[in-house]
Amino acid sequence: MTASISDQLLAWYDVHARDLPWRVPPGNALPDDPAWPYRVWLSEVMLQQTTVAAVKPYFAKFTAVWPTVEALAAASDDDVMAAWAGLGYYSRARNLLKCARAVAERGGFPDTEAELRKLPGLGDYTAAAIAAIAFGRRAVVVDANVERVAARLFAIDEPLPAARKAIRAATDRITPDTRAGDFAQAMMDLGAHVCTSRAPRCLLCPLAGDCEGRKAGEPERLPVKPAKKPVPERRGAAFWITRNNGAEVWLVTRPGTGMLGGMRALPDDGWTARSDGSGEGPLAGAWRTLGAVRHGFTHASLTLQVDALETSTAPEGEGQWWPVERIGEAGLATLFAKAAQLALAED
């Protein structure tokens, strides 16, 4: 059964593999190019909790501006954070730079899981994916798509996250010694387009005959997920502070750690609701409340009131006056880009 599953899946992948800019066609030799592991690593970091469609333009931009890990390592934090803006989960961008600099310092990517795990920001999944896809090592690669395929294939009905140990062991049993990278990507593609979360397309699945979840008649039930906890609601305010008749806006850089760390942003109140709802900001003046924007994070939902002031005085603390006509080049995180759009629409 084990050999049959890997053989069937690889045969399916040879025909149906997605054409992605960070992949080689199935069955092809890995490129003899030091930039190849860099491209695999970059794609894997970008794809964490993000769709392929969203990642593609960012991957193209990064590899055009920084074609090697050495080039990325030499980039400024501000430039990289600005280029990442809109992709979300900004701690990934901070870890990306740390890892690039560590790799450049050691002279390239290591080619084993154990050594890859020693790099900043690389967990078990990313290390396994790079080892398998970039270097052809046998590694057990389990992302959300693979997790779903394995849970259904072996009818693992223990609730997550406790089920992950059994899911990994099951994936290990079917991972072949050769073409491990192709196998990992085949499992990902199968989960993304056939063994989907809802309405799995079992009639198109090359593993349907071996799938215990399908035989039980309810593959969509697996993997069993814990009940979602309610997402807390938070409120706060952002400040659109302009000078020269609105030609320039005051921007700050958020602290390097914490939410949206290292990103350019509008000044804010720390996302703490003000009891009086006033438009009082970091400077004295005739503040106007323009409205509010909403944004969802994984841990909370935020409503951000946007207050505006025209002034000739810079607020206290570090920041910079930024041309409003070039606000799109500032690399604002999505939350503050929404606030800027609201301010521009109101003005």
Q: What is the pLDDT of residues 127-140, one digit of tens each?
A: 999 999 999 999 99
Q: How many residues does the chain have?
A: 347
Residue 273: the pLDDT is 60
At residue 279, does pLDDT exceed 70? no
Query: To which residue do tokens 């946007």 refer?
Result: 306
CA-based nearest residue to 17, from 233, 159, 184, 218: 184
Q: What would the pLDDT profile of 39-77 be if each residue is shown by its tens digit? A: 999 999 999 988 999 999 999 999 999 999 999 999 999
Average pLDDT, integer, range 31-38: 92
Domain map of the chain by residue range? 2-221, 233-346
Lowest mean pLDDT among 213-217, 223-227, 247-251, 280-284: 280-284
CA-based nearest residue to 55, from 75, 73, 71, 40: 40
Q: Do 2-221 and 233-346 have matching folds?
A: no
At residue 304, does pLDDT exceed 50? yes
For residue 288, the cross-strand partners are 308
Catalytic residues: 44
Q: Which CATH superfamily is domain 233-346 in?
A: Nucleoside Triphosphate Pyrophosphohydrolase (3.90.79.10)
Residue 275: the pLDDT is 41
Check if the beta carbon of residue 195 is closer than 8 Å to that of residue 205: yes
Average pLDDT, integer, range 86-111: 92
Average pLDDT, integer, range 4-29: 94
Average pLDDT, integer, range 156-171: 96
Residue 167: the pLDDT is 97
* CATH fold for the domain made of 2-221: Endonuclease III; domain 1 (1.10.340)
At residue 287, does pLDDT exceed 60? yes
Check if the beta carbon of residue 31 is closer than 8 Å to that of residue 24: yes
Q: Where are the alpha helices (DSSP H) in the chain?
A: 2-16, 35-47, 52-65, 69-73, 77-84, 91-106, 113-116, 124-135, 144-153, 164-174, 180-193, 212-215, 334-346
pTM: 0.78
Average pLDDT, integer, range 256-285: 74
Residue 1: the pLDDT is 46
Residue 243: the pLDDT is 92
